[in-house]
């Protein structure tokens, strides 16, 4: 890469990142929604999410940072800059987790952002632009499908009421859970969505094995592959398991299995670039001696090439319509994000800052979806990855070392300070 000059002040702020404070906070947050084997189950807008939000707010208030919240519950912690009327530089990630998630996915990026604000305070550095740390609402989409709701609303891709009716598996609506959360975590001021932002950088564990296998500490993320989600609803008819002949049945689960078998063939990719996942299957009435009347399954489809995603997405409905009868089938696309290319100047500032701080770095694409993908449609954006053990994520065993968490945060501190200081 070309020569990169970090400057004295960004370096000073990076030096004030406190590894112990950061680690202690990551561990403290992992208590909200803790499950066995060091895992975390913190669904969006759940009581555990509310408790984590309250703790984050209390840490921010301790430093007298301003708390704002927008209509979808995105939480913003602001450290003021010299001028209050200039656009903020932004960082952050999400606090919700997978049902059997780990201690680092998402929450690391929020706490790394807070640690940068703390380091700026400790180093007594005044920036020109304010710096905002955001905790996006419902990035995972495992309780309320789809994910990325907070950043979609912030960037104007969707409106809150588009999601109001969506229910979790207990029948509770997103609208209701959001109202409960907004009531429980009052902010200093409301913040309008679609607010201009100078630049956005998100720190995250890699969630794959590339950095670890390459013995690199920092990933400067160049892109995110495209992703789509679908919900497939099959309707049949419930009947007695002991008396109903097979040829008279409209068995929704058997229809789902026929759809899945044919979809497996369509989604075959000898190059192993396509990511096709059916992670959710719900059967009703879910009784051993009743023929299933309803089956619902999810499809998560990802590829770096939008044209391939478009073609394969188009095949889902026709494959299902062919084999589902005598059951009915409805396929609904619930999420669509085209591939993201991050801003070259942010990618090089991540790589350059890492090298200037003596950390090994490499460029790499992201297989996982992130709110940074939405933000890239709104302002120059990028991401900082750090290694996670054996590339394991969306799993209780997810692990990142304290030293790597701090290393990524130092790079974040250097990049944000440089962006906010000019
Ligand atoms: C987010 O965790 C994703 O699904 O990539
Ligand atoms: Mn994440
Ligand atoms: Mn995740």
**Ligand 1 pocket, 206 CB below 6 A?**
no
Residue 165 lies inside a defined structural domain of this protein: yes
How many of the other CB atoms lie within 10 Å of CB of 246? 8
Among 176, 194, 180, smallest CA distance to 54 is for 180
Residues 132 and 39 in one domain: yes
Confidence of residue 99 (pLDDT cuts 50, 70, 90): very high
Asked if pLDDT for residue 1 goes beyond 70, the answer is no
Q: What average pLDDT does range 3-28 have in this prediction? A: 96
Last residue of a domain, one of 302, 322, 337: 337
Other CB atoms within a 10 A radius of the CB of residue 62 amount to 9
Q: Is the pTM of this model over 0.85?
A: yes
Say if ligand 1 is within 6 A of residue 374 CB: no
Which tokens hold the place of 340? Answer: 């993201």
Q: Do 207 and 348 share a domain, yes or no?
A: yes
- Indicate which CATH number applies to the domain containing 261: 3.30.70.360
CA distance 235 to 256: 10
Task: Name residues whose C-beta falls within 8 Å of residue 111's C-beta, 6 or more positions apart in sequence.
Answer: 22, 25, 26, 29
Q: Give me the CATH number covering residue 411.
A: 3.40.630.10
Lowest mean pLDDT among 13-27, 90-104, 193-207, 289-303: 193-207
Take atom 1 of ligand 1 and give the residue whose Cα is closest: 369
Average pLDDT of span 181-190? 86
Q: Are residues 184 and 318 in the same domain?
A: no
Asked whether 368 lines ligand 1 (CB < 6 A), one says yes
**Token couple for 47:** 């009581």
Q: What is the pLDDT of residue 195?
A: 86
Residue 55 CA, ligand 1 centroid: distance in Å: 24
Q: Is 231 in the same domain as 380?
A: no
Are residues 251 and 210 part of one domain? no
CA 86 to chain centre: 28
CA dihedral 35→29→279→281, nearest 10 degrees, is: 60
The number of domains in the chain is: 2
**Minimal-distance CA residue to ligand 1 atom 4:** 369
Is 380 found in the same domain as 259? no
- For ligand 1, the distance from its centroid to the CA atom of residue 369, given in whole angstroms, is 5
Look up residue 147 and give its two tokens.
Answer: 């994910």
Q: Given a cut of 70, is residue 86 above it in pLDDT?
A: yes
Question: Which is the closest atom of ligand 1 to the Cα of 369?
Answer: 5
Residue 59 lies in a domain: yes
Computed over every residue of the chain, the mean pLDDT equals 96
Cα of 124 from ligand 3 centre, angstroms: 34
The pLDDT tens digits of the residues spanning 320-364 come to 999 999 999 999 999 999 999 999 999 999 999 999 999 999 999
Query: CA 351, 346, 63: angle at the middle one, nearest 5?
Result: 95
Helix orientation angle between 306-323 and 252-266, rounded to the nearest 10 degrees: 140
Is any ligand 1 atom within 6 A of the Cβ of residue 309? no
pLDDT in tens, 29-57: 999 999 999 999 999 999 999 999 999 99
In a domain, 280, yes or no: yes
Of the residues 309, 337, 365, which one is the last residue of a structural domain? Answer: 337
> Dihedral of CA 69/75/80/86: which sign?
negative
Is residue 211 one of the residues assigned to a domain? yes
The pLDDT value recorded for residue 188 is 78
Nearest C-alpha neighbor of 369 from the set 154, 223, 224: 224
Asked, for residue 300, whether it belongs to a domain, the answer is yes
Same domain, 172 and 321: no
Q: Which of 136, 142, 370, 373 to mutate to test the pocket of ligand 1 (most atoms within 8 A of CB)?
A: 370
Q: Say if residues 210 and 262 touch (Cβ distance below 8 Å).
A: no
Same domain, 113 and 162: yes
Question: Do 211 and 251 reside in the same domain of the chain?
Answer: no
Name the residue range of residue 392's domain. Answer: 8-225+339-420
Task: Spell out the residues 6+ positions from residue 172 whose beta carbon is closer than 8 angstroms to its own.
Answer: none
Give the alpha-carbon dihedral of 259, 260, 266, 272, to 10 degrees: 170
Ligand 1 pocket mutation pick from 97, 107, 147 by most atoms within 8 angstroms of CB: 147
Domain C-terminal end among 337, 362, 388 = 337
Given a contact cutoff of 8 angstroms between Cβ atoms, the answer to whether 295 and 283 are in contact is yes
Question: Is residue 191 located within the same domain as residue 206?
Answer: yes
Is 72's pLDDT higher than 80? Answer: yes
Does residue 326 sit in the same domain as residue 348?
Answer: no
Q: What is the pLDDT of residues 279-302, one digit of tens each?
A: 999 999 999 999 999 999 999 999
**pLDDT over threshold 80, residue 422:** no
In terms of domains, do 279 and 385 share one? no
3 found inside a domain: no
Question: What confidence tier does 2 reach under pLDDT thresholds 50, 70, 90?
Answer: low
**Residue from 112, 63, 117 nearest 88 by CA:** 117
Mind listing the pLDDT tens digit for each residue in 243-284?
A: 999 999 999 999 999 999 999 999 999 999 999 999 999 999
Helix 402-420 and helix 8-15, axial crossing angle in degrees, nearest 10: 150
Residue 187 has pLDDT above 70, yes or no: yes
Residue 19: inside a domain: yes
- The band of 186, judged by pLDDT with boundaries at 50, 70 and 90, is confident
Of 366, 288, 284, nearest to 327 by C-alpha is 284
Average pLDDT over residues 133-147: 97
Q: How confident is the model at residue 139, as a pLDDT?
A: 98
369 touches ligand 1 (CB under 6 Å): yes
Residue 294 included in any domain: yes
Q: How confident is the model at residue 371 (pLDDT cuts 50, 70, 90)?
A: very high
């Amino acid at each position: 890469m070309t020569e990169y000059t970090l400057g004295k002040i960004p370096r000073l702020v990076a030096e004030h990142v406190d590894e112990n404070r950061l680690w202690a906070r990551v561990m403290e947050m992992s208590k909200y929604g803790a499950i066995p084997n060091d895992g975390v189950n913190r669904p969006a807008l759940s009581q555990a999410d509310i408790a984590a939000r309250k703790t984050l707010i209390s840490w921010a208030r301790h430093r007298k940072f301003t708390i704002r919240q927008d209509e979808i519950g995105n939480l913003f912690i602001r450290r003021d800059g010299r001028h209050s009327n200039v656009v903020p530089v932004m960082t952050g990630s999400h606090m919700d987790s997978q049902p059997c998630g780990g201690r680092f996915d998402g929450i690391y990026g929020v706490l790394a952002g807070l640690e940068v604000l703390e380091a700026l305070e400790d180093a007594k550095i005044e920036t020109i632009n304010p710096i905002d740390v955001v905790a996006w609402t419902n990035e995972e989409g495992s309780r309320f499908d789809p994910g990325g709701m907070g950043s979609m609303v912030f960037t104007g891709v969707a409106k809150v009421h588009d999601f109001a009716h969506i229910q979790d598996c207990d029948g509770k609506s997103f609208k209701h859970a959001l109202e409960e959360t907004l009531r429980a975590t009052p902010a200093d001021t409301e913040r309008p969505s679609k607010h201009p932002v100078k630049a956005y950088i998100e720190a995250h564990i890699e969630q794959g094995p590339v950095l670890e296998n390459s013995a690199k500490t920092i990933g400067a993320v160049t892109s995110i592959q495209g992703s789509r989600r679908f919900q497939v609803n099959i309707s049949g008819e419930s009947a007695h398991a002991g008396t109903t002949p097979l040829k008279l049945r409209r068995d929704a689960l058997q229809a789902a299995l026929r759809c899945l078998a044919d979809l497996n063939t369509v989604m075959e990719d000898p190059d192993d670039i396509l990511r096709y996942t059916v992670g959710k299957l719900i059967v009703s009435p879910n009784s051993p001696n009743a023929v299933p009347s309803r089956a619902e399954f999810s499809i998560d489809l990802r590829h770096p090439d939008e044209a391939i995603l478009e073609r394969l997405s188009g095949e889902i409905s026709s494959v299902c319509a062919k084999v589902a009868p005598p059951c009915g089938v409805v396929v609904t696309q619930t999420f669509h994000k085209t591939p993201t290319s991050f801003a070259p100047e942010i990618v090089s500032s991540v790589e350059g800052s890492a090298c200037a701080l003596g950390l090994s770095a490499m460029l790499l694409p992201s297989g996982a979806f992130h709110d940074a993908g939405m933000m890239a449609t709104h302002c120059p954006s990028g991401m900082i990855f750090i290694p996670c053990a054996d590339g394991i994520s969306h799993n209780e065993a997810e692990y990142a070392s304290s030293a790597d968490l701090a290393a990524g945060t130092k790079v974040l501190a250097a990049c944000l300070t440089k962006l906010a200081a000019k």
